[in-house]
Structure 1
Amino acid sequence: MTDTWSTPYWPEGVPHDIEGYNKPLFSILDDAARDYPDHTFTIFNGGTRTFTRVKETADRVANFLAGKGIGKGDRVAIFLPNLPHYPEIYFGILKAGAVCVTCNPLYTAKELNMQLRDSGAKAVFCMDHPEFYPLTVQAIKKTDVATVVVCNVKSYLPFLMGFMGGLLGKIPKAASHEPGHIMYDEMVRNARPEAPAVTIDPMQDLALIIYTGGTTGVPKGASLTHANFVHNVMAAHAWTRIPHEPNGPAENLRKGGYHTYLGVLPWYHSFGMTLVMLWSTYTGSKLVCIPNPRDGDPPFTVVLEAVQKYKTTVMAAVPTIFIAFTNHPLLKNYDLSSLMACGSGGAPLPVEAAKQFEAKTGAIIFEGYGLSETAPLAALNPCNTETRKFGSVGFPVPGTDVKIVDLDTGTTPLPQGEDGEIAISGPQVMAGYWQKPEENEKVFRQIEGRRYFLTGDIGNIDGDGYVTITDRKKDMILVGGFNCYPREVEEVLYEHPAVAIAAVVGLPDPKSGESVRAYVQLKPGETATEEELLAFCKERLAGYKRPRSIEFREALPVSQIGKVLRRVLRDEELKK
C-alpha cells in the first residue's frame, strides 16, 4: 500500500479494510425494511413513505418488469429528477436482475436517444410532465425501448395537497399520453409485491451503467457492479465518525431514523446516488426529495426551507451549492443548525468558500474525491477539524489504494510529494466502460499485481500521506513550457472578497503556447474591476500563472451537479 496507510493522521476507529460487501445492492433496502419497517424513508413536499412501503413497491416494479420479459442483464433507463419514485424504481430494476441506466433529466431528446441506443435499454421510466414526457417520446425512436412507464407526483403528495393541486391544475402532467404507455400508479396497483427469483453475483453482475465524460467529450457508460456500490456505501459509513451531541464522542452515523439526508444532489449522478440515496437507505434514515434545488425566489430558497423544515443533518453537495448557501441574501432568515455532516465533492472545494460556509452556518465540511468510475468515493478527509486538511482530499477510504504515476505511461509510481496522474485500485472501481474495449485499454493498468484505474487527474501524496488534487490532466495550461494548474489560479481569485465563482482556462497564444484567462461571477451587491483583480493576482502568483484577462459574467456555465464547465468557456473563446 502507499504511504497514506502509515500516516499518524489516519482517523481513529476507522478500519483499513471493509468486509461483507459481496451482496446484491438491493439487499440494503431489504435490510432497512426488515430492521426499520415503519420508519419514514422518503419525504416529498410533506408526503412520506416508509421503508416497508418503498420495498413493497420496488418488489412490484421488479414483478412488472419480469412480466415484460425483462430480466438478468437487461438495461432499464430512469429519466427522472429527484422524485420519491426514484428509489422504488432503482431498487425494483435491480431486484428484476436488470441494470439501471440513470439519465440526466436535463438532457435533450438527442442526448437521451444516444444513451438509450448505446445501452440497449428495453424500458424507460419518465416523468408525467409537459416537457419531460414529449421529450421521452421523441428520444425512444429508433431504440430498443418497448416499455414506457410514466410517473405522476400526485399520489406522493399529502392528500389535501394532491387534491387541491389536481383541482387547480398545479400538478404537472403531459397533455396526452401515447397508446401503450403505462401510468406508474396503475402499474404498481396491478403488479404483485413479489420480486422474481434471480441469482446475483455481486462481484461480476452489473447494477448500473452511468454515463460520464460528457464534460470532456462523448459520454461513455461506466459499468459498475453491485459490489462496487455496496462497498462504497459501507466505506463511507465506516469512515464518517462525528459527535452527535456537543462534546460527545466521535461515532459512525446513527441508524434507524436519527438522521435526515438532504436530496439536493441529482440521484442520476453517482455522487448524489451513493452518498445520499443509497447511504440514507443503508442507515435507515429519512431522505428529503428535492427535484430542483434552484427553485425559489431567490434561487436555492427551497433548499434552505427544506433544511429548516425537516431538520436535515447530512448534506452532500458540490462547491457551487455551498457557495449558493453562503451568498444567499435570505440566509439569516433560516435556522440551519441541524446540519451535522457536510460532504463536498464533484469539483475542487475553494478553501475560502468552505471557511465562509462554516462561519455562516456552523456546519463542518469534509472534502472528498472520486469519479463515476469509482462509484464514486475514493478518498475523504478525516471527519474532525484537527486533522482535516483544507486543500487536500484526505486519505483513500478503507480497502482503497491510491498511487501517483507518471503522466506518459501511467505505470511508474512516483516519489512522495511529486505530481503525477492519480491511479486508484479498490473494490469500488468499475468493471469497465460499456462496450468500449479500446477505452478500457487506455485507463486500466496492472501495477504490482493490482488493477488500477487512471483517473485523468493530476495530484500528489504529501509527506503526511494526504492526497492533493492539483488539477485535471486535460485542463492543465502550458505557458511557455511551465505547467499552470487552473485550480491554483482559481483559489487566489476566491480569496478576493467580491468573487463568488471563478473559472480559469488556457487559450492558444502565439508567444507562450497558451495564456491564462479567467471568468468571474461576483457576489450579489459586490463590485470589482478587471484591473483590480489582475493586480490582486499579480501580488499572489508567478508571472506565467497570472490571468492575461478577466471576463465578468452574471453566471458561469455549470453541469447538472453544479460543476463549472471550463470546456464550455474555452470552446466559446475558440469559436470567437
Structure 2
Amino acid sequence: MTVWTFPDIWESVCATIPDAPAVIQGERVVSYGDFDGAADALARHLVGAGLSHQSKVAAYSFNSAEYLLTYFAAFKAGLVPFNVNYRYGRDEIAGLLDNGDAEAVVFETGFANLLAEVRDSLPSVKTWVAIPRNGDPVPPWAVSLDDLVAQDSGERAYRAPWGRRGSDIMLLFTGGTTGLPKGVMWQQADVIGRFGYGANPLAGLPPMQSPADAGPRAAQAAKRPRSLIACPLMHGTGLISSLAVLGAGGTLVLLPPGSFDAVRLWDAAAQHEVHRIAIVGQAFAQPMLDALESEPSRWTLDALESIGSSGTIWSRENKQGLLRHLPNIALTDSFSSSEAFGMAQSTTTRDAEVSTASFALTPDCAVFTEDGRRVEPGSNETGRIAIGGFIPLGYYKDPKKSAETFPTIEGRRWSMPGDWARVAADGTILLLGRGSQCINTGGEKVFPEEVEEALKLFEGVADAAVTSVPDPRFGERIVALVARRPDTDPGEDAMRDHVRGKLAAYKAPRHFQLVDAIPRMANGKIDYAQVKDIAMTSFA
C-alpha cells in the first residue's frame, strides 16, 4: 500500500530540481535545494530538543519561506505543524499555544517581546526557534534558525526514528464565527487525496502513482506552475494553495509583509509572469480592480491564466470588472472551509458567467436537511452542505463538536461545517450562509450573505455586511452596514426597496448605517463580531 506524505513528495522534487525556485519574495529567491536543507536542519533540531512522534509545532510568522519550511521540517520529523494567527494579542496567543499543546514554537523575532510575556505559562514548550527579521535580536531563551541552517550536516531526507505515516496530521486552527480557535485535524494522506494525488490542471500534470513520481514529473513538465499567494499562509486558503504548488515543483511568489497592496501584487505578477493568483474574495479583489482601473496600461499580464478565491463570496460585479482588463483569464470561486476543501466551485470567464453564490457541487457533496434527508433539486428546501471522501478526523480535543460537524448519514461520514444552501433544479447550489450567523426574525430564517449579495447589486453599494439587533416583537431585526461607492449616496428607502425586489420582504434590513469600510479579518472574511458591535451601539 502506498504511503502518501508531503515530505516524501517534496523531497522527490527537491532532489530532482534542486536549483529551481521554490519561493520568491521580493528580491529573495529560495531554491528547492536550499528549502530542503533548511527544513532538514530544523527537523533535526526539533527531534534533538525532545519532541516525539506527533508533537506539536507552532508556526508564528508572516508570509515567508520560513513559514513553509516550518511545515516541511515538522512533516519530515513526523511532527504536527499548526498555524498561529499573527494578529492575536498576548492572551489569545497564550491560549492558542496551550490549546494546541505546542512543544516547539518557530517565530519571527518581531514577536519575541509578546512571547516573553507568556512563555512561563507554557511549560510544555521544549524549544523556541527564532526567525531573525528586520534586525530584531534573537532572545537569549531561543535558538536562531539561521544558526541551525548554517550548522546543517548536509545529509538530506531526514527521518526521525519513528518514520513517517500517511496518518500523520497537521492542525489547521480556525477562529470560525465565534472567534474561539478550533484545531481541525487533517491527515496528510487525506489532504493529498483531496488534491487528486498531485493532479495539477494548471501545469497539465496527471495524478502520481507514488510520492517518488513527484520529482521526475516536475522535471519533465512543459510548464511548472507559478502562483502568487496574496492571502496569509496562516489561513487555510494560502496554506493549502501553497502545499499543492510545492507538490508540483512550482514556484510560490509571496508579497512582502504588511498591509495588502494591490499595486505590489500586480508588479510581482508581471515581473514573475505568474500563472495563478490566490486571494480571499472581495477584500483582495476590489483593490486589485481599483488598481487596474487607475493604471490600465501599467502591467503586462499575458502569463496570467486564473485568479482563484476561497472562503468568502466574491461579487459578480467585481469579476466582470476584472475580466474587462484581463479578458483571457478564468476566475475560480471555490466554496471551501478549514473543515472541508473543495465542496463546490464556480468558474467565470469572458464567455461563461455564473451568478454570485451559485456553485456546482463536486461529486462527493450533498445537501441535507436538519433531519438527515437529502435536499432534492428544485424543492426550495434549505439544508446544510456536506462533503464526504477525504475529510478531517475531527476537531482537536473536542469530541462533542467533532460529532456535530462530522456526522454519519446514510452510512457514510460527512463534513458539515454549517453552511446552508438551496439546490436549484439544475443541481447547482445557492449558498445562503453560515448557520451560526442566521437571523431569526418573527420565526423566519434570514441568512446574512443572501441579503449582502442582494445589496451589492444596488448601484452605489461597494460592500455590505448584515447582522441583527434584538427586537421585542420579532426577536431580531435586520441591520445592514453599507460601504458606498465614491461620489454616491444610496438612500435607505431605495436600498430597502431594492432588497425587497430581490428577496422576501421580511429579509430587507430595518436599519442601514453607512461606513467607510466593512470590518474584515486578516483572511478577508467579514468580522461579524465587530459588525455586531457597531450595530448594537447604533440601533439596539
Match of 1:472 in 2: 434
Using the alignment, how far apart are the partners of 1:499 and 1:21 within structure 2? Answer: 53
Residues in 2 aligned to 1:516 and 1:326: alpha-carbon distance in whole angstroms: 30
Alignment of 1:141-540 (within 5 A): 141-143=120-122, 144-153=124-133, 172-174=134-136, 176-194=137-155, 195-197=158-160, 198-202=162-166, 204-206=167-169, 208-234=170-196, 237=199, 255=221, 258-275=224-241, 277-292=242-257, 294-295=259-260, 299-319=261-281, 320-328=283-291, 330-332=294-296, 333-362=298-327, 363-374=329-340, 376-381=341-346, 389-392=354-357, 394-397=359-362, 401-407=364-370, 409=371, 411-417=372-378, 418-427=381-390, 429-540=391-502
Q: Give the deviation of 1:380 after TM superposition.
A: 2.5
**Deviation sequence 1:365-394 (CA, Å, 0-9, x none):** 1111111112x3332335866676333564
Question: How much has 1:395 moved relative to structure 2?
Answer: 3.9
Residue 394 to residue 102, structure 1, CA distance change in 2 (3 Å): same
TM-score, with length taken from structure 1? 0.83
Residue type at the aligned position of 2:46:
L
Deviation at 1:34, TM superposition (A): 3.1
1:43 maps to 24
- Secondary structure (helix, strand or coil) at the match of 2:417 reads strand
The letter of the residue matching 1:324 is: P
Matched, 1:94 2:53: no
In structure 1, runs of 5+ residues without a counterpart are 1-19, 154-171, 243-251
Structure 2: distance between partners of 1:401 and 1:301: 39
Sort the Cα spacing of 1:493 and 1:440 in 2 relative to 1 into closer, same or farther, 3 A. Answer: same
Deviations 1:325-375 (A, max 9, x none): 12236342333443211112111222222222222333321111111112x
**CA pair 241-485 structure 1, distance change in 2 beyond 3 A:** farther
Give the deviation of 1:524 after TM superposition: 4.2
CA distance in structure 2 between the partners assigned to 1:218 and 1:463 by the alignment: 37
Shift of residue 539 of structure 1?
A: 4.2
Contact 2:359 2:431 in 1 (8 A): no
Distance in structure 2 (CA, Å) of the matches to 1:47 and 1:234 = 31
- Using the alignment, how far apart are the partners of 1:565 and 1:38 within structure 2? 42
Equivalents in 1 of 2:186, 2:258: separation in Å?
Answer: 27
Q: Percent identity?
A: 24
Partners of 2:418 and 2:408 in 1: CA distance: 16
In structure 2, what is the equivalent of residue 562 of structure 1?
524
Aligned length: 516
Instruction: Tell me the amino acid that sits aligned with residue 530 of structure 1.
Output: E
- Is the CA contact (8 Å cut-off) linking 1:477 and 1:505 kept in structure 2? yes
2:113 aligns with 134
Q: Whole-Å Cα distance in 1 between the matches of residues 344 and 398 of structure 2?
A: 27
- 1:543-558 matches, cutoff 5 A: 543-558=505-520
Distance 1:257 1:122 in 2: 40
**Which secondary structure does the structure 2 equivalent of 1:453 belong to?**
coil
Letter of the structure 1 residue corresponding to residue 57 of structure 2: V
SS of equivalent residue, structure 1 residue 469 = strand
Two-structure CA RMSD over aligned residues (Å) = 2.7
Q: Aligned partners of 1:193, 1:268: CA distance in 2, in Å?
A: 29
Select between 180-189 and 509-518 the one with higher mean Cα deviation.
Answer: 509-518
Q: Which amino acid aligns with 2:130?
A: V
SS at structure 2 position matched to 1:123:
strand
Question: Alignment partner of 1:454: what SS?
Answer: coil
Kept in 1: contact 2:289–2:321 (CA 8 A): yes
CA contact (8 A) 2:84 2:93 kept: yes
| Contact 1:340/1:364, CA 8 A, preserved across alignment | yes
- Post-superposition offset of 1:136: 2.3
Alpha-carbon separation, structure 1, partners of 2:35 and 2:532? 45
Instruction: State the 1:262 CA deviation.
Output: 0.6
CA distance in 1, matches of 2:486, 2:198: 35
Deviations 1:484-508 (A, max 9, x none): 2222221222123422211111222
Deviation of the 1:464 alpha carbon: 2.6
- CA–CA separation in structure 1 for the residues paired with 2:138 and 2:203: 49
Contact 1:64-1:191 at 8 Å conserved across structures: no
Describe the superposition over 1:274-318 as per-residue Cα deviations: whole angstroms up to 9, x where unpaired: 12x1122022111112243635xxx43322221222222211211
Alpha-carbon distance in 1 for matches of 2:509, 2:343? 32
Per-residue CA deviation, residues 135-180 of structure 1 (Å, 9 max, x unaligned), is: 2222333112231111124xxxxxxxxxxxxxxxxxx233x44323
CA contact (8 A) 2:78 2:165 kept: no
Question: What SS does the corresponding residue of 2:96 show, helix, strand or coil?
Answer: helix
1:415-454 deviation per Cα after TM superposition (whole angstroms, max 9, x unaligned): 2333201122111x11111111121122222222211122
Q: CA offsets, 1:487-539, max 9 Å, x none?
A: 22212221234222111112222233322211112234544343443344344
Runs of 4+ in 1 over 6 A off after TM superposition: 383-388
Aligned partners of 2:479 and 2:535 also within 8 Å:
no
| 1-structure distance, mates of 2:128, 2:52 | 16
Change (3 A) 1:395 1:27: farther
| Residue number in structure 2 paired with 1:7 | none
Take 1:241 and 1:185, find their aligned partners in 2: how far apart are those partners? Answer: 33
Paired residue secondary structure (1:390): coil
- Provide closer, same or farther for how the CA distance between residues 91 and 314 of structure 1 changes in structure 2, counting only shifts above 3 A: same
**In the alignment, is the contact (CA less than 8 A) between 1:368 and 1:393 conserved in 2?**
no
1:21-78 per-position Cα deviation (integer Å, ceiling 9, x unaligned): 8501222311221332221111111221211221122111111112112231100100
**Bigger RCO of structures 1 and 2 (CA < 8 A, at least 6 apart):** 1
Cα distance change on mapping 1:457 and 1:241 into 2, 3 Å: farther
Quick one: distance in 2 between partners of 1:59 and 1:383?
A: 42
Q: Taking structure 1 as reference, are residues 27 and 390 closer, same or farther at Cα in structure 2, changes over 3 Å only?
A: farther
